[in-house]
Structure 1
Amino acid sequence: MVQTLTEFDTIAAISTPIGEGGISIVRLSGEAAVPIVNQIFKGKNLTKVPSHTINYGHIIDPETKQVIDEVMVSVMRAPKTFTREDIVEINCHGGIVVTNRILQLLLGHGARMADAGEFTKRAFMNGRIDLTQAESVMDIVRAKTDKAREVAEKQLEGGLLTKIQAMRQEILDTLANVEVNIDYPEYDADTITAKQMAGVSKSVIAKIERLLTTASEGTALRNGLATAIIGQPNVGKSSLLNYLTKSDKAIVTDVAGTTRDTLEEYVSVKGVPLKLIDTAGIRQTDNKVEKIGVERSKKALDQADLVLLLLDASHDLTPADQELIAATANKKRIIILNKTDLGQQLNKEELETTTASEVIATSILQEQNLTQLEDAIKQLFFNGIENSNDEVLVTNQRQVGLLQKAKKQLEDVIIAVNDEVPVDIVQIDLNGAWDTLGEITGESSPDELVNELFSQFCLGK
């Protein structure tokens, strides 16, 4: 018989990475979680044990009476669980065969396989968390630095939720006044109501703009900052990549044009996650292979969030150097004067003035001033935010897009008020902004959006 998937089924999945390890965890959630596990568990009667207890025993195959594994079973009853449903977690030995065998037994005794992200989706559907907190769960899993983890933890605690709810309440209070004015016009004046609508719109716009200023930092923490290492051949790009990654990822020689393709590596620099791209030297060349590398370097430059532009400090600027300085003028960049150990011909202060960029003189070979470079990267992106203990960061494009949409709707309210549009018409945009902010937290999100968001989660989460 084909099983119908419903939100009321008891679901099961492996919640730890598949492979060899100390333990694996098989998780169940749903009304029948405890009875299902009790059918294959030899030990205490799990239907009678207290909630939030860990119980020793064995998993057996009821048909063959074969012992599958020695386990510890955690029983957590609703509503004090992550999903607000009964949850059971089986801690078994961390082998692929034994973990899958236990999962198959559970599926054969009444559970169904969980969809990707379904545990977290149930937490959302049951009011345990909102959409921003659900997204933070995945951010914690994917965090590449301690700072990224800290920001995700704040989101999970409801940092962004609190701010969004406060803005929605501010709008809602005004909408209530508008309704009173529409229903009982003798108790209020249109001009007073219109001023209230414009005033609350300006107030909420200011709060939205403050959140939007954190978007680049939040996205960088979440996804890693695309960082292109740019420069002429043999200027030290690969040496810089090797230093930042603390490994020999790139071949370093005295021969110009050694790097023929872009190399990528994720690193953490002072809490800033960087997706480093070591590019081929950008120059005119007749070599077909090197020419392809140069084109890829130019593409990496276009897509970069941050540019580390290396120049040879032991020589005067060449026309090719000038072209690279011009090509990166509209990018966030740090200019690195490398090879100072060979003598410094370029003037650091003069270059800072002419390029309006941070300039750091260094010898990558001698590892001089590289800590200063790391500090500059951190300062460039997290000045005033990195050290804040209560800052809430917007961490993904879904949130950014909805905040921008709400801001536009509120700006339309102000324009309409100034044009003396009737309040019941202006109310439409104000109500739209209230709904849009609700989409961020999931309070007014369509089912399709919710399903799409949770489908990006891993199984067992």
Structure 2
Amino acid sequence: MYVEDTIAAISTPVGEGGVGIIRVSGPDSSAIARRIVRRSTDGDFESHRFYYGSVVDPATGLDIDEAMAVLMKAPRSYTREDVLEIQCHGGYLVTRRVLDAVLRCGARLAEPGEFTRRAFLNGRIDLVQAEAIIDVIRSKTDAALSLAQHQREGRLSGRIGAIQGDLRHALALVEAYIDFPEDEVDRASFAEIDSRSRGAFAAIEELLAGFDEGRVLREGVSVVIAGKPNVGKSSLLNTLLQEKRAIVTSVPGTTRDIIEEVVNVRGLPLRILDTAGVRDSEDLVEREGVRLTLERIPQADLVLVVLDGSRPLDADDRTIFEAVAGRRSIVVVNKSDLPRAFDRFPQALERAAVEISAATGAGIPELRELIFDTFIHGRAIDSREYVALSQARHRDALAAARERIAAFLANLSRGENLEILAVDLKDALHAVGEVTGETTPDDILDLIFQRFCVGK
């Protein structure tokens, strides 16, 4: 429930920094500014103007720190409420003391995400844009940031709004005939209802088709490097990272634990796991490493099966082939700078294969492209027009809406009762509304905003 009180929090990260920001939002923001910010000028704070002065303790009148303060009066603020921001020196103790001074003036400590939740409840942003804000903060690559910024700017919301517009138009026509049962649905109105609902269905289908791409840009993908010992798995990891992260020796079984690193491939975040070499071993530690490797393969979004092109295939290679059967994988034939010792590997794996030399770097650009194309299917993700779903919550809501529209179209073609048709459209609209927050239950809103930090 939204309570119109005044909240406050430190909005900058904990620790030392050049500037610390304390944010205040609510009806008492202006009064708090007048009480604790000492300036050289008297009178009210002008909106959106910075003032230099000192923050003082309201109990003692002593200076806490010099600061800049700005009051942003409603509705031209982040929350559409009166917002005060105080910028002081960045340090744990000084920002804490400024916040304490604000709280002693009647504000309460904000809950996680409460500033953004107020922006949503006050109609400044919808729920898609609110969720995009935290994705902007947590983005690991330029492509993930671009996708989040497009959603924050309202581009996905615009697509959703167009779908809602078509459904509402179709529903209005259906309900008009319910209100006037003596009128039969004429051919033009029937065609309009059919066209609008099919347009909404097609738009939802297009958004759902792009979900996998949006998800991997937002969340990244898990990539396991697997192979028998001494085929160059750790060398491949180091080459992709462009730094020496894993120990590389000529001794088989050097890597026994799983090493995880993040690599950016054209904006696609890869969580790469270098695993122990797979082979029969009497060494208990090495056997545990092999077990972990085989356990991680089914959990991965992609497996890079590394082969030593200078050595014939053997039973250990075939163990890996069996482990990745039916899974998304790329065969990486390493040591292309040496004579090739085999010509073929299982036909099921030949569709995605590349030859490289981790020692010279040959084939690495082609491997990067193949990894990228495995998840991003030729779409210009850096385009300003690129819009995609990236949240499972959005996908599930739109999938439910698609199901109800499909039911509506089937009932429409059979000439079902108009009241049944209206229920189908209302259900579809309710499902779509869950994406933008119009019909999202409070418990889901709580979960979404709890993901934010306290000062956001």
- TM-score range relative to shorter protein: over 0.9
Give the Å deviation of 1:446.
1.6
Number of the residue aligned with 1:373: 367
Counterpart of 2:331, as a letter, is I
Deviations 1:267-317, CA, capped at 9 Å, x for gaps: 212211111111222233333222222222222211111222211111232
In the alignment, the residues of structure 2 paired with residue 387 and residue 54 of structure 1 have an alpha-carbon distance, to the nearest angstrom, of 36
Q: Is 1:396 aligned to 2:367, yes or no?
A: no
Number of the residue aligned with 1:270: 266
Partners of 1:228 and 1:301 within 8 A in 2: yes
Number of the residue aligned with 1:219: 215
Number of the residue aligned with 1:100: 96
Alignment match of 1:64 (pick from 44, 57, 60):
60
What's the secondary structure of 2:337's corresponding residue?
helix
Q: Is 1:251 aligned to 2:260, yes or no?
A: no
Moved more, 53-62 or 118-127: 53-62
Partners of 1:360 and 1:373 within 8 A in 2: yes
Deviations 1:11-50, CA, capped at 9 Å, x for gaps: 1111111011111111111111121132111115686232
**TM value normalised by structure 2:** 0.94
Q: How does 1:25-174 map to 2 (within 5 A)?
A: 25-44=21-40, 48-174=44-170
Counterpart of 2:446, as a letter, is N
In the alignment, the residues of structure 2 paired with residue 187 and residue 421 of structure 1 have an alpha-carbon distance, to the nearest angstrom, of 16
Number of the residue aligned with 1:435: 430
In the alignment, the residues of structure 2 paired with residue 292 and residue 423 of structure 1 have an alpha-carbon distance, to the nearest angstrom, of 64
Partners of 1:195 and 1:417 within 8 A in 2: no
What's the secondary structure of 1:395's corresponding residue?
coil
Counterpart of 2:304, as a letter, is L
Partners of 1:352 and 1:358 within 8 A in 2: no
Change (3 A) 1:321 1:197: farther
Q: Is 1:364 aligned to 2:364, yes or no?
A: no
Give the Å deviation of 1:453.
0.8
Number of the residue aligned with 1:328: 324
Number of the residue aligned with 2:336: 340
Give the Å deviation of 1:326.
4.2
In the alignment, the residues of structure 2 paired with residue 356 and residue 165 of structure 1 have an alpha-carbon distance, to the nearest angstrom, of 44
Q: Is 1:231 aligned to 2:227, yes or no?
A: yes
In the alignment, the residues of structure 1 paired with residue 25 and residue 305 of structure 2 have an alpha-carbon distance, to the nearest angstrom, of 52
Number of the residue aligned with 2:445: 450
Give the Å deviation of 1:69.
1.1
Counterpart of 1:431, as a letter, is K
Alignment match of 1:409 (pick from 390, 404, 407):
404
% identity of equivalent residues:
40
Change (3 A) 1:201 1:299: farther
What's the secondary structure of 1:85's corresponding residue?
coil
Which segments of 5 or more consecutive residues in structure 2 lack a partner in the other structure? Answer: none
Considering only aligned residues, what root-mean-square deviation do their CA atoms show, in Å?
Answer: 2.2
Give the Å deviation of 1:372.
2.1
Partners of 2:174 and 2:421 within 8 A in 1: no
Which segments of 5 or more consecutive residues in structure 1 lack a partner in the other structure? Answer: none
In the alignment, the residues of structure 2 paired with residue 321 and residue 388 of structure 1 have an alpha-carbon distance, to the nearest angstrom, of 41
Partners of 1:38 and 1:45 within 8 A in 2: no
What's the secondary structure of 2:452's corresponding residue?
coil
Partners of 1:212 and 1:400 within 8 A in 2: yes
Partners of 2:170 and 2:197 within 8 A in 1: no
Partners of 1:352 and 1:359 within 8 A in 2: no
Give the Å deviation of 1:141.
0.1
**TM value normalised by structure 1:** 0.93
Moved more, 168-177 or 264-273: 264-273
Change (3 A) 1:6 1:201: closer
What's the secondary structure of 1:187's corresponding residue?
coil
Change (3 A) 1:298 1:192: farther
Aligned residue pairs total 455
Give the Å deviation of 1:103.
0.8
Change (3 A) 1:232 1:129: same
